[in-house]
Amino acid sequence: MSMTAGDGTAYRNYINGEWVAAADGRTGENYDPANGELIGHFPRSGQADVDRAAAAARTAFESWRKTPAPKRGEVLYRVGRLLEERKEDIARTLTREMGKVLVEARGDVQEAIDMAYYMAGEGRRLFGSIVPSELPNKAAYGVRDPLGVVACITPWNFPVAIPSWKTMAALIAGNTVILKPATDTPHSAVKYVEVFADAGLPAGVLNLVMGSGSEVGMPLVRHPDVAAISFTGSNEVGREVNVEAARELKRVTLELGGKNAIIVLDDADLDLAVDGILWSAFGTTGQRCTACSRLIVQRGARGELERRLLERIEKLRLGHGLAETTDVGPLINASQLERVHSYMSVAQREGVRILCGGEPAREGDLARGNFYRPTLFAGVKAGMRVEQEEIFGPVLAMIEVESLEEAIAVNNGTKFGLSSSIFTSNINAAQTAMRDLATGIVYVNAGTIGAEIQLPFGGTRGTGNGHREAGLGALEFFTEWKAIYVDYSGKLQRAQIDA
């Protein structure tokens, strides 16, 4: 497939309803990870840009929070319709910038479409609570209030979907937002924010500031006008965000790493299991927080499952995500390619066998990009580094176990707890796994990826700090409760005393 090279266009931040350059004029280049072609020049913003965005969001907050929630929802309905109209264009932009194959990029945008309509509907709900008072002629109820200015700091692997999870929930609740996208995927963020501008969102309600974590991300976390931070990224940075936010008692939600596992029992449908494993381990080139990086297989199924997996893995086709023939796209950048490859020597030192893959793909056009061959480890034991650490690439570690109980113990034996899966035809085993798998998401006879936006998304242990994104769980984070008492008795009544 022929692809047009980038024209070096200079893009801008979106602050207070205007597209503006960084205050000091600095820019950085962005490249297609599949072939190294230039996509464009994007702002390298700093404190002055953060200050300007925070001032705009603070000013816009008073009007936006007083806008009736159903009216806020009408804006999101328009956003959803525009996203539908522009789905293909945004998906192609996303593929060129992030690398995932086009069918997955379309799914990334579809999540934003789904979230727009879902959260728009919540504008006519935003349920509070009405409870009886212990005193006569007195009403008692609770309502949700917005937090204020919210900073949404998002990763590169879902550069449209994850911003939609955060920003749309924040906006429908009446907050104003500053979006800081990953430095690897700013173009997708520009396309996303353009939709809100064209849908008529008032100036200052959603602002886009592009730049690095140190020059934009942490200044947002520390900014006195930012009331809350929603962060998705690495555990290392997430801890720093949490510490800095705690200094000012700011609310923060963290969505961090994963080391997700698929369990395959002896009685599983192996054809179905192989399909689920391949999709979960090598979809998005393994660059999902919910990707399957561990395969926990019962001894009786291991040999046949391994044979079928190797046969299918060898047929996976690497290439540019815009090509119809591509199954697996590139890693996001050269640094991530090096990081993934560094685990091959770790595996060898731990006595792990590399059954396939284990090296960058350098032939032909693949040499121009950050391609890594899909890799399968065998002989992995619980506790090994390759079994415990998040690699974030197309690498799958196979661990053999004797029983369901051992499989569950291995699954739960990491510092992460995002997603897990079990393939079995035994209803009792499935029910046991649903009860005992200590992850925020559990699948039965399906892979570890594919969460839907109407349920809460998030994990346990080191995967986050307990909050959830998507579904009603997102509204819990982006609102705070206000208890209201209305006494119409005409006299002073003292709760707990005059009851």
Question: Which tens digits make up the pLDDT trace of 11-47?
Answer: 999 999 999 999 999 999 999 999 999 999 999 999 9
Please, how many CA atoms are within 13 Å of residue 345, restricted to the half-sphere of its CB?
4
Count the neighbouring beta carbons within 10 Å of the beta carbon of residue 285. 32
Query: Given pLDDT bands bounded at 50, 70 and 90, which one contains residue 498?
Result: confident
Reading phi first (left if > 0) and then psi (alpha if -120 to 50, else beta), residue 286 is in left
Q: For CATH 3.40.309.10, list the domain ranges present in the chain.
A: 260-444
Q: Which of 255, 387, 400, 469 is catalytic?
A: 255
User: Does residue 292 carry a catalytic annotation?
Assistant: no
Percent of the chain with pLDDT over 70: 98
Residues of the chain with CATH 3.40.605.10: 13-256+464-483
Phi, psi (rounded to 5 degrees) for 295: -115, 110
Q: Is the pLDDT of residue 215 over 60?
A: yes
- The number of beta carbons lying within 10 Å of the beta carbon of residue 136 is 11
For residue 1, name the pLDDT band (cuts at 50, 70, 90). very low
pLDDT tens figures, 219-243: 999 999 999 999 999 999 999 999 9
Give the confidence band of 499 by pLDDT, cuts at 50, 70, 90.
Answer: low
Contact 331, 360 (CB under 8 A): no
Q: Does residue 263 have a pLDDT over 80?
A: yes
Query: Domain 13-256+464-483, what architecture?
Result: 3-Layer(aba) Sandwich (3.40)
Which one is catalytic: 97, 289, 390, 400?
289
Neighbours of 108 (CB within 10 A): 24
Q: For domain 260-444, which CATH number applies: 3.30.70.1140, 3.40.309.10, 1.10.10.10, 3.40.50.720?
A: 3.40.309.10
Distance CA(6)–CA(484), nearest Å, equals: 56
pLDDT at 36: 97
Taking the model in full, what pTM does it have? 0.96
Q: According to the model, what pLDDT value does residue 402 have?
A: 98
In this prediction, residue 348 has a pLDDT band, given cuts at 50, 70 and 90, of very high
Which of 126-130, 280-284, 375-379 shows the lowest mean pLDDT across its residues? 126-130
Contacts of 127 (CB under 8 A, 6+ apart): none
Mean pLDDT of the chain: 96
Phi, psi values for residue 208, rounded to 5° = -120, 120
Residue 254: its pLDDT value, please?
Answer: 97
Cβ contact 347:330 at 8 Å: no
Across the range 383-389, mean pLDDT stands at 98
The span from the CA of 2 to the CA of 489, in Å, is 77
Whether 6 has a pLDDT exceeding 70, the answer reads no
pLDDT given at position 7: 56
Indicate if 304 belongs to the active site. Answer: no
Average pLDDT (247-271) is: 97
- What would you report as the CA-atom Rg of the chain, rounded to the nearest whole angstrom? 24
Strand order in the sheet with 353-356: 353-356, 375-380, 395-401, 292-298, 260-264, 419-423, 441-444
